[in-house]
Amino acid sequence: MSEEQIMSLEKYFEERIARDEKIEPKDWMPEKYRQTHIRQMSQHAHSEVVGMLPEGNWITRAPSLRRKVALLAKVQDEAGHGLYLYSATETLGVSREELYEQLHTGKAKYSSIFNYPTLTWADIGAIGWLVDGAAIINQVPLCNTSYGPYARAMIRVCKEESFHQRQGYEIMIKLANGTPEQKEMAQDALNRWWWPSLMMLGPTDDKSVHTEQSMKWKLKRKTNDELRQQFIDQTVPQADLIGLKIPDPDLKWNEERGSYDFGGIDWDEFWQVVKGHGPMNKERMKARVGAWERGAWVRDAAMAYAEKKEKRKQAV
């Protein structure tokens, strides 16, 4: 194809997206569109799968049977969401195994929040409330993104995710209304998860490299800073309601803006974690790689069995 032809194809392609048409797997698309989508969608899938680990850490120790089944179901949903998203990514011509390879070698990123440890039961509440809360803000607009398989996967994810945040907040309510020991546990979890949750919404707009293009392709509907403000504005009253204190001395309602002003985020910490030096980066990767390697003989056996069975069927 000549450069001119590609240019006109690209122009037509961008027009389609601007008209809110969906792009489907076999449609022509610019290479950059494909690559950007592989990157973002797989990053999203990885986040779901790595995100199973910090919460999975408390399945065996959940304080009641009711909490245990809720947590199991939630972590299982995350596996499901990872699976939907990997499948959607595979429509762009990359296999799940290749995507795993990128994750396991550190080439692909996942949400840095999962590199923090879950130390107490309250952390499970805080993750559901804050981390899933921030994730929902990010995810809801994606139900309408331009790439069909991604949008469809996100619709399913958002539908299922709606119980996750409620589950987390309910844990926090119980703790906040419980004994002083429980309330302290809840406050401690909020103190540790608040700032990482704000960071989770991405670097500030002036530092964010992908925003403009992503907006055009509807991979993003709002900037990181807008999302962060939205998250803070909706979360602060929820903390107030259960008598927990947001660990930010500079947090203040700004009448004029109709929003909360908030204190500075420690971006050095953010970059440290993103670059692989958070408290749990190494453990998380070890767990993922370990599960994959320990499972190799199992996956091989299933393939070998399937092939034998197929041969036997043909021999009959």
- Nearest approach in angstroms of CB 152 to other proteins is 8
Question: Which listed range, 14-22, 83-91, 193-201, 252-260, lies at the site for other proteins (CB under 8 A)?
Answer: 83-91
Name the 3-class secondary structure at 85.
helix
Exactly one of 13, 33, 86, 129 binds other proteins (CB under 8 A); that residue is: 86
Q: Which stretch binds other proteins (CB under 8 A): 135-143, 222-230, 260-268, 298-306?
A: 298-306
How far apart, in whole angstroms, are the C-alpha atoms of residue 133 and residue 135?
5
Count of residues engaged in binding other proteins, rule: CB under 8 A: 66
Report the residue from 93, 178, 243, 276 that binds other proteins according to the rule CB under 8 A. Answer: 178
**Minimum distance, C-beta of residue 122 to other proteins, in the bound complex (Å):** 10
Which long-range contacts (C-beta less than 8 Å, at least 24 apart) are formed by 89-95? Answer: 89/37, 89/38, 89/41, 89/42, 89/45, 91/25, 91/149, 92/25, 92/34, 92/37, 92/38, 92/41, 93/34, 94/38, 94/42
Q: Which stretch binds other proteins (CB under 8 A): 10-18, 137-145, 252-260, 308-316?
A: 308-316
| Residue from 96, 197, 88 nearest 137 by CA | 197
What length is written for the chain? 316
CA distance 98 to 39: 12
CB–CB of 96/86 below 8 Å?
yes
As measured in angstroms, the least distance from the Cβ of 261 to other proteins is 35
Which CB atom, from 153 or from 201, has the smaller least distance to other proteins?
A: 153
Tokens 């972590």 identify what position? 75
* Site membership for other proteins, residue 5 (CB under 8 A): no
Q: Which of 42, 90, 146, 161 binds other proteins (CB under 8 A)?
A: 90
Q: Dig out the tokens for 17 from the structure.
A: 């997206």
Whole-number minimum distance, CB 14 to other proteins, in Å? Answer: 17
Contact flag: residue 22 with other proteins (CB under 8 A): no
Binding mask 268-297 for other proteins (x = CB under 8 A): -------------------x--xx--xxxx
Cα 44 from Cα 82, distance rounded (Å): 8
End-to-end, the C-alpha distance of the chain in Å comes to 50
What character string, x for contact with other proteins (CB under 8 A) and - otherwise, covers 94-113? -xxx----------------
- For 249-278, b/e burial (b = at least 16 CB within 10 A) is eebeeeeeeeebebeebeeeebebbbeeeb
Binding track over 197-226 against other proteins, x by CB under 8 A: ------------------------------
Q: In the chain, which residue ranges form alpha helices assigned H by DSSP? A: 3-18, 31-56, 65-90, 96-104, 121-126, 132-139, 148-176, 180-200, 211-216, 224-241, 267-272, 281-294, 296-315
Does 27 help bind other proteins (rule: CB under 8 A)?
yes
* Residue with smaller CB distance to other proteins, 61 or 245: 61
Binders of other proteins in range 42-71 (CB under 8 A): 49, 52-53, 56, 59-69
Chain-centre distance of CA 161, in angstroms?
11
Report if residue 166 touches other proteins, rule: CB under 8 A. no
Q: Which residues of the shown chain bind other proteins in the complex (CB under 8 A)?
A: 24, 26-28, 49, 52-53, 56, 59-69, 72-73, 75-77, 79-80, 82-84, 86-88, 90, 95-97, 121, 152-153, 156, 160, 171, 174, 178-179, 181-182, 287, 290-291, 294-306, 308-310
